[in-house]
Amino acid sequence: MNFLRSASSLALRPSSHILTRRAALPATSFAVRHLSDSTKKTIEDAITQNKLVVFMKGTPHAPQCGFSRAVMQILTVQGVDMDGALKSFNILADEDLRNGIKEYSSWPTIPQVYINGEFVGGCDIMLNMHQSGDLEKLLLKEGLIEPEAEESPRA
Amino acid sequence: MSTPVTSVTIESLTEACNTKLGATHVEGKDISGGCGQNFEIKIVSPMFEGKSTLQKHRMVNEALKDQIAVVHAFSQKSFTPAQWEALQQQ
């Protein structure tokens, strides 16, 4: 439960206050246009040049939100090369990207996962696909993980 | 027209799911410890029939966007009535 507590404290960041105030206006922050051409290009370049891109809070080895951490754990368990195959963006370090990616994906929350240029989902969907086996299939298909070695016969 | 959202509660989320998504069952949990920043919600609706998980989530995001915009964290699970029924049998 610790991550939830630290997650709530993040809500005290000044930027979150701005978001809250803006959301109190008739046009919600989700609907306001944030996406500049340069941010859009950054996103498009990233998702077309990398098979696996995650827009997250923090970094793969130091996630700063429980949901971002959960996605990193799922990818690690799946056997993704977290230093080689994964391209990640820390949206906490880039306010334009933080707002821009939400608009680009039409998705209100972080983290966001792109595989082979396509938006896959956030934490809920990743967890869902992880449990159903669909994520493994997708990662295999895109060559992001190796097929599991045959288990040695039981003694 | 949607009214400006200043606070989010289980009731306000449930209400939006009922009216905008025709939900037949909604289970919401405030896991923020009372600060109204962190919600987990299960939604059952016949409108999810034939939709992919991503499509279902997008429908929920759209229906609740005013409210999601003001909370810190939001987690959803969406089911068709048949999927929900099957889950209850387990």
Tokens of B27: 């289970």
Judge whether residue B1 has pLDDT over 70: no
Q: Does A131 touch chain B (CB under 8 A)?
A: no
B73 contacts on A by Cβ (under 8 Å): 4, 7, 65-67, 109
CATH domain A35-141 topology: Glutaredoxin (3.40.30)
pLDDT bucket at B16, cuts 50 / 70 / 90: very high
Tell me the percentage of chain B whose pLDDT exceeds 70.
91
Q: Beta strand A58-59 with A62-63: parallel, antiparallel or unpaired?
A: antiparallel
- Chain A interface mutation, best of B13, B52, B53, highest count of A Cβ atoms under 10 Å: B53
Residues of A in contact with B65 (CB under 8 A): 28, 30-31, 108
Each residue of B31-47: pLDDT tens digit? 877 666 789 999 999 99
Give the tens place of pLDDT for each residue, A88-118.
999 999 999 999 999 999 999 999 999 999 9
pLDDT band at residue A12 using 50, 70 and 90 as cut-offs: very low
Is the predicted pLDDT of residue B75 greater than 60, yes or no?
Answer: yes
Q: Which H or E run includes B30?
A: strand B25-30
Q: Report the distance separating Cα A12 and Cα A30, nearest Å.
A: 19
Strand duo B25-30 + A86-90: pairing = unpaired
Sequence spans of domains, chain B: 10-89
Q: Is the pLDDT of residue A8 over 50?
A: no
Q: What is the C-alpha to C-alpha distance for residues B86 and A105, in angstroms, rounded to an integer?
A: 32
pLDDT score, position A24: 40
Quote the minimal CA–CA distance from A37 to chain B in Å.
23
What pLDDT, on a 0 to 100 scale, did the predictor assign at position A5? 43
The predicted pLDDT at position A148 comes to: 77
DSSP string, B12-24: HHHHHHHHHH--S
Residue-wise pLDDT for A15-41, tens only, equals 433 344 343 444 444 555 778 999 999
Range B10-89: architecture per CATH:
2-Layer Sandwich (3.30)
- What is the Cα–Cα distance from A56 to A87, expressed in whole angstroms? 11
Residue B10: count of CB within 10 angstroms of its CB: 15
Q: Do B66 and A23 touch (CB under 8 A)?
A: yes
B53–A121 CB contact, under 8 Å:
yes
Residues of B in contact with A24 (CB under 8 A): 4-6, 70
For the stretch A48-62, pLDDT in tens is 999 999 999 999 999
